[in-house]
Structure 1
Amino acid sequence: MVSTDEPIRVPQGLAGRRWLFPSALVHELDPDARTSGRRPRRTARDWVVDFSCFLLAVVVGLAAAHSLPDEPGLSRPLAVLDQMLGGLACAAVWLRRRCPVGLAVALLPVGLLSITSGGAAMVALFTLAVHRPFRYVAWLGGVYLALVPLLYWLRPYPHLSYAAVVVFTALLTVSIIGWGMFVRSQRMLMLSLRDRAHRAETEARLRAEQAQRLAREAIAREMHDVLAHRLTLLSVHAGALEFRPDAPREEIVRAAGVIRESAHEALQDLREIIGVLRANESDDAEGGRPQPTLAAVDALVAESREAGMKVTLLDHRVADPTAVPASVGRTAYRIAQEGLTNARKHAPGTEVTVRLTGASGDGLTLTVTNPAPPSEVPPVPGSGQGLIGLTERAILTGGRLEHGTTADGGFEVRAWLPWGES
């Protein structure tokens, strides 16, 4: 059985028609009944089956009792004892669900003394095959079959030969055991299908939760990449206005325009990301904002230059940027964006170099390098989460990303992304 923390609910069809099912099966399918520890209550079907088994045992016992006067050498006291034991065996049939093994064992010696208990013994064997594993059935069924020749040698049947009655009884015993094992297999199959369906539902729910978590993590990375770039522009120009209040009017107007535009773009990006989160969709959802590609790197460099950065784009030797796969191009854009953002934050006023080369089959190489910041610039603390996210992005696309200080004290971010042949 599959053990899970979440209770397994009874199927809707079973909940309304429990009386059609055995109590043992309802007990297995009902989590409330299984966790309560109480014995399963008989259903209406159980009462019908139990009464039918009792009636069958009584009918077989009466038929056997009818042949007792014809049995040679049987005295009246032995005949009365036979019928008394048969009556007790039939009454014990009502205990078959509570202790099937005990009932089958108890009827073994009774069967040697009482022919009228044969029906009850067959019911006990059937119950044992239904409710207990095969090892119990094999042992007790084998003992029953071994005692059949001894029983009819001690108590010869008056209407059939010894060989015929032994063969008939042995075949009947094997048939009853096989029928009980078939019923048990059907119940186990139903429980197995229940467990398989529940396992499939659990796995589907876990896959959905994992996909949702991955999508939200991707959105969080996207929020960091986008908003960090915009907010850094705001910080740089606001700082320039703070430290140079006597700047020319043209520079103040241009800085204020960049601040206003960056704030507008940041709000727009934040609004779209929150909208995606509320809609429970990924950043690739249909109807969302178009994602940047490799062709947008030129526009990113131009935007940084307009914001006052010194950016040099070298070795831009990608003949057709639109041929780069969308996921690779988007990752390259985010790496360039994060590299420029970090350079603007940690090394303001320095000249940043962006190198972009690659071809189909060779991969795409992107490098963002900045020299050491001026000594008068105070160090800005950073968490490093952006570079960690970029490394994860590169690995997810099948590439790699390396970063660290250079020999002259600067900083370099170098990435290689796969670009297979089309």
Structure 2
Amino acid sequence: MDAPATPHARAPRNHVVDVVLIVFSAALGYIAVTTLERPFGWPAWTGSVELALGLCACLSLWWRLTHPVAVATVLLVAGTFLSSVSVAPLFALYAVALLCSIRVTILFCALNLVSVAGPLLLRPEFHASPLLLLSAHVVGVIAATAFGLVIRSRRALVQSLRERAVAAETEAALRASQAEHEAREELAREMHDVLGHRLSLLSIQAGALGYNASMSSAESAQVVEEIRRNSRAALQDLREVLHVLRSPQADVPLPGAADIPTLVREAFPVGGSITLSDENGLTSVDSGVPALLGRTLYRFVQEGLTNVRRHAAGADTVVSITGRAGSDIRAEIRDTGAGAPAPQAASGTGSGLRGLAERAALVGGEISHGPTDDGGWRLAMKLPWLA
């Protein structure tokens, strides 16, 4: 069974319509009562009574939108027995079709069609053409029902479109919020990778300068120069990242696989060594590694070396990269674990590894890490390289 529609709020314009319908129905009822002659034997006062009852029935149209079923029932009964109630039941039937369920609408439509038998049976002598009366009544009932259903369908369509518009706005707001969140995460990853690498170098260099009092003046000057060079490089890296984030179509090149040898050379081993093993030449300029994979590979090596400097300074480290098109790119950073945490190095929060995992997941890859048998640490990543 269809649920009844929600009654409409009574807007100011509905009051005007109510008054017009009441006056119009009462006027037609007055014309009908004064025009038709009373049946033989009826006293004169019956006309006034019928007119008063018809006016009261027409006044019920004021509540047709708030109580459509009750008003339609009253006018249906009154229209069956009173000549002063002629078109008012049609207005009530329209309200039923507009506001009530389909089953209730069909019921009242059928009852209104049958109600025409009342005037035909009570006053047959005044209807020269019963067929004409019956035809007009049927047309009026069907028209009132159809018009109410059409307006109801139109309002339902408008309401549906409004709900869809609200849903679309909500979805757009959620997408914008999600895009903003992703942009913030991307910014956080870039800042962590760029600044974390450079600042770890500065921390180790500054720590070595402060803790190694036996360094000669030339060695100290060299370390200071390295600190100054890495500070400038950190600022330049920061400017490039911000420029790219502000303008995605910028022509500032982001680091890729070909920049990994430079990254390894710039690393600052304290008492240990860093070796790059690249059997298939993936870090060469003409290796053909896609830009996105190359950038992910670069950030992997950068984060791995940063972690080695933080937690195993002085350990021998090997960076190995293998792979080919149509297969997987496998990268691994393995240290011996013989070193110690770098002086003045901040303890990690794990955000770097989480960022690496997110980067790898974006290109369908994965990372793994854990201790090795010789007491060191291993960080590995696998990236799919489609041909």
- Superimposed CA distance per residue, residues 299-351 of structure 1 (whole angstroms, 9 cap, x where no aligned partner): 11121158886211113414565522222111111111000111111111112
- Answer whether contact 1:297 1:333 (CA < 8 A) is retained: yes
Which stretch shifts more, 137-146 or 281-290? 281-290
Q: Equivalent of 1:356, from 321, 328, 332?
A: 321
Equivalents in 2 of 1:390, 1:409: separation in Å?
Answer: 23
Question: What SS does structure 2 have at the residue aligned with 1:401?
Answer: strand
How do 1:86-165 and structure 2 match up within 5 A? 86-156=54-124, 158-165=126-133
Matched residue, 2:373: 407
Give the alignment of 1:277-356 within 5 angstroms.
282=245, 285-287=248-250, 289-304=252-267, 310-318=273-281, 323-356=288-321
Q: Does the 8 Å contact 2:270/2:313 carry over to 1?
A: no
The one-letter code of the counterpart of 1:115 is: S
Q: Which residue of 1 aligns with 2:196?
A: 228
Segment of structure 1 superposing worse, 154-163 or 209-218: 154-163
Q: Which structure has the higher relative contact order (CA within 8 Å, separation 6+)?
A: 2
- Taking only the aligned residue pairs, the percentage that are identical comes to 36
Counterpart of 2:95 in structure 1: which amino acid? T
Distance 1:152-1:322 versus aligned 2 partners, 3 A rule: farther
Return 5+ residue gaps in structure 1 as ranges. 1-23, 28-39
Q: CA deviation at 1:224?
A: 0.8
Structure 1 position 365 matched with structure 2 position 330:
yes
Alignment partner, residue 210 of structure 2: 242
Match of 1:191 among 159, 164, 174: 159
Q: Does 1:420 align with 2:386?
A: yes
Query: Does 1:392 find its partner at 2:355?
Result: no
Stretch of structure 1 that moved more, 232-241 or 189-198: 189-198
Residues 376 and 213 (structure 1 numbering): CA distance in 2 closer, same or farther, change over 3 Å? closer
Counterpart position of 2:4: none
Q: What amino acid is the match of 2:161?
A: L
Q: CA deviation at 1:65?
A: 2.1
Q: Residue type of the partner of 1:418?
A: P
- Give deviations 1:57-100, integer Å, cap 9, x for gaps: 13432342244316677554443332222111222223323332
Post-superposition offset of 1:416: 0.9
Counterpart contact for 1:343–1:370, Cα < 8 Å: yes
Tell me what 1:175 maps to.
143
Q: More displaced, 166-175 or 129-138?
A: 129-138
Q: Secondary structure at the match of 2:323?
A: strand
Deviations 1:268-325 (A, max 9, x none): 444565x56xxxx847623374321111111111211588862111134145655222
Contact 1:403 1:412 (8 Å CA) reproduced: yes
What code does the residue aligned with 1:314 have?
A: S
Counterpart of 2:179 in structure 1 is 211
Match of 1:252 in 2: 220
CA distance in 2, matches of 1:358, 1:172: 83
Partners of 1:357 and 1:364 within 8 A in 2: yes
Query: 2:167 and 2:65 mapped to 1: Cα distance?
Result: 30
Query: Distance between the aligned counterparts of 1:283 and 1:165, measured in 2?
Result: 79
User: CA 1:160/1:331 → structure 2, altered by over 3 Å: closer, same or farther?
Assistant: farther
Instruction: Label 1:240 to 1:135 Cα distance change in 2 as closer, same or farther (>3 A).
Output: same
Equivalent position of 1:15 in the other structure: none
1:93–1:120 Cα contact (<8 Å) kept? yes
SS of the equivalent of 2:329 reads: strand
Alignment length (residue pairs): 378
Distance 2:379 2:207 in 1: 26
One-letter amino acid matched to 1:187? R
What TM-score do the two structures reach when normalised by structure 2?
A: 0.87
Shifted more, 339-348 versus 166-175: the winner is 166-175
Shift of 1:201: 1.5
CA shift for structure 1 position 184: 1.8
Distance across 2 between alignment mates of 1:94 and 1:57: 12
Between stretches 379-388 and 288-297, larger displacement belongs to: 379-388
Q: Which residue of 2 aligns with 1:200?
A: 168
Q: Is the 8 A contact 2:204 2:342 kept in 1?
A: no
Partner Cα separation in structure 1 for residue 55 and residue 34 of structure 2 = 14
Asked if the contact 1:82/1:116 (under 8 Å) is kept, the reply is yes
Structure 1 contact 70–158 (Cα < 8 Å) conserved = no
Asked if the contact 1:61–1:116 (Cα under 8 Å) also holds between the matched residues in 2, the reply is: yes
